[in-house]
C-alpha cells in the first residue's frame, strides 16, 4: 500500500466532527500488522479510530460500535473465515439497532466472495491492492450523515 494522502479537513458526516471508525479483527485471525497500519493511516487522514484488537466476537464488535457511536465499522480479516463470521457480525449490529453504520472489510477476501458480503450489507471490500487514498476517500464519501433529534 502506498503512504497516506495529505490530511484534509474534516468530512461530511457532521461539519467539524471527525469520522469515528471502529477497526476490529473478528474470529481467530492473529495477524494484526495490516490492521494496525490501516489504523495509523486513518488517523493520519483525520479519523478517530477505536481499535479493538484481535479475537473479537460479533457481540464484542457490536457492543463497542454502540457505545463508541462510530460511523464506520472496519473488519480486518486474513484468516478466510469471513463467510461464516460476517453474517453473525451484521446480525449483532442490527440487533442493537445499528443499521445505519457503514460497514467495510479489508484483508485477503477472494473476489468471488465479495457479492455475498455486499448482499449482507458490507459496503466495500478493500483487498490487498487497495491504496490508503482509495479507502480513505470511500469512507469520507460514504460515511453516513446524521439527523439527530433532541
Partner 1 sequence: MGLVDRLLASDQRALARLATLVEANDPIGEAAVARLYARTGRAHVVGITGPPGAGKSTLVNALVGAIRRSGRRVGVVAVDPSSPISGGAVLGDRIRMMQRHNDDGVFIRSMASRGRLGGLSLATVGVVHLLDAAGYDPILVETVGAGQDGVDIASLAHTTVVVQVPGLGDGVQAIKAGLLEIGQILVVNKADRPGAAEVARHLREEAHRGGDGNGWHVSVVETVSTTGEGISTLLEHIDAHLIVLKDGLGWTSHQHAAARSEVLSRLRFELERRLTVDPASATGLGGGIDNVAKRETDPATVVAELLAGLGVAPS
Q: Residue 50 or residue 123: which is nearer to partner 1 going by CB?
A: 50
| Exposed/middle/buried for residue 12 (C-beta within 10 Å: 0-12, 13-18, 19+) | middle
As beta bridge partners, residue 51 has 23
Q: Residue 66 or residue 120: which is nearer to partner 1 going by CB?
A: 66
CB 125 within 8 A of CB 114: yes
- Choose, by CB under 8 A, the member of 35, 51, 125, 143 that binds partner 1: 51
Question: Which of these ranges, 67-75, 99-107, 115-123, 127-135, lies near partner 1 under the rule CB under 8 A?
Answer: 67-75
Least distance from partner 1 to the Cβ atom of residue 131, Å: 17
Question: Which of these ranges, 16-24, 79-87, 101-109, 112-120, lies near partner 1 under the rule CB under 8 A?
Answer: 16-24
| Residue 107 Cα distances to 7, 39, 123, angstroms | 24, 13, 14
Q: Does 45 bind partner 1 (CB under 8 A)?
A: yes
Closest CA to 1 of 107, 78, 81: 107
Q: Residue 20 or residue 142: which is nearer to partner 1 going by CB?
A: 20
Amino acid at each position: 500500500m502506498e503512504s497516506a494522502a495529505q490530511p484534509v479537513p474534516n468530512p461530511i458526516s457532521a461539519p467539524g466532527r471527525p469520522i469515528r471508525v471502529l477497526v476490529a479483527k473478528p474470529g481467530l485471525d492473529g495477524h494484526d500488522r495490516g490492521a494496525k497500519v490501516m489504523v495509523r493511516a486513518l488517523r493520519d487522514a483525520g479519523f478517530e479510530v477505536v481499535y479493538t484488537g484481535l479475537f473479537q466476537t460479533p457481540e464484542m464488535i457490536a457492543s463497542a460500535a454502540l457505545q463508541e457511536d462510530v460511523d464506520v465499522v472496519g473488519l480486518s480479516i486474513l484468516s478466510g473465515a469471513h463467510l461464516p463470521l460476517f453474517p453473525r457480525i451484521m446480525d449483532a449490529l442490527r440487533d442493537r439497532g445499528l443499521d445505519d453504520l457503514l460497514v467495510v472489510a479489508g484483508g485477503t477476501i477472494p473476489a468471488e466472495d465479495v457479492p455475498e458480503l455486499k448482499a449482507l450489507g458490507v459496503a466495500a471490500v478493500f483487498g490487498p491492492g487497495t491504496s490508503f487514498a482509495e479507502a480513505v476517500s470511500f469512507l469520507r464519501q460514504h460515511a453516513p450523515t446524521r439527523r439527530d433529534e433532541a
